[in-house]
Amino acid sequence: MRRPIAFIFAAFAGGIWAGYYLGFWWTVSLFGTLALLALLLRKQYLCIFLTMALMGACYFQLHDSRPEPLADYEDRVISVVGTVLNVEDRGNYLRLLLKPDSWQCGSVAGTVQDKLIVNLAFSTKERGMSANEGGDVSVPHETISDLFGKKVQVKGKLSLPAG
């Protein structure tokens, strides 16, 4: 007994996999060439599976390209107010995981739905919370365990993660 829907599902999943590991135009040209070859050889079933794989790759590319709301403010000084969800001591800096309430960059302000990772650098002789590059935190000199659940205001230069 044949299960064509399982093969169609596998082709769609293979297209998502190809869309993840290959660039969009590489994926389109690969599946387009294979679909053209399948049409010339009159393999209709193979053409259907390749079309589904191409649709899977396009589906992945559409959902993977969501705009980052703070991308326009990269390398600018912003101020973020939020609640500390997690704190990690990384030796010469603290890594805070914030659930932001609001942000402000100059006269522009807004909200962020996702969580933010904030790295706070400090000198080894001072275990306070003064950051490099003019950044500061509104809860100075508290211990790490006291920061959990606290509302903080962080000000500093924004840099988005690579990738």
Distance CA 18, CA 102 (A): 38
Distance CA 7, CA 93 (A): 51
Residues 32-46 have a mean pLDDT of 85
Amino acid at 34: L
What are the residue ranges spanned by the domains of the chain?
4-64, 71-157
* Those residues with Cβ within 8 angstroms of residue 151's Cβ, 6 or more apart along the chain or in another chain: 81, 82, 83, 101
pLDDT at 74: 80
Residue percentage of the chain with pLDDT more than 70: 81
Helix and strand counts by DSSP (H, E) for the chain: 4, 6
DSSP conformation class of 71: G
| Residue ranges with strand state E in the chain | 77-89, 93-105, 108-110, 116-121, 136-137, 151-157
Residues 88-100 have a mean pLDDT of 84
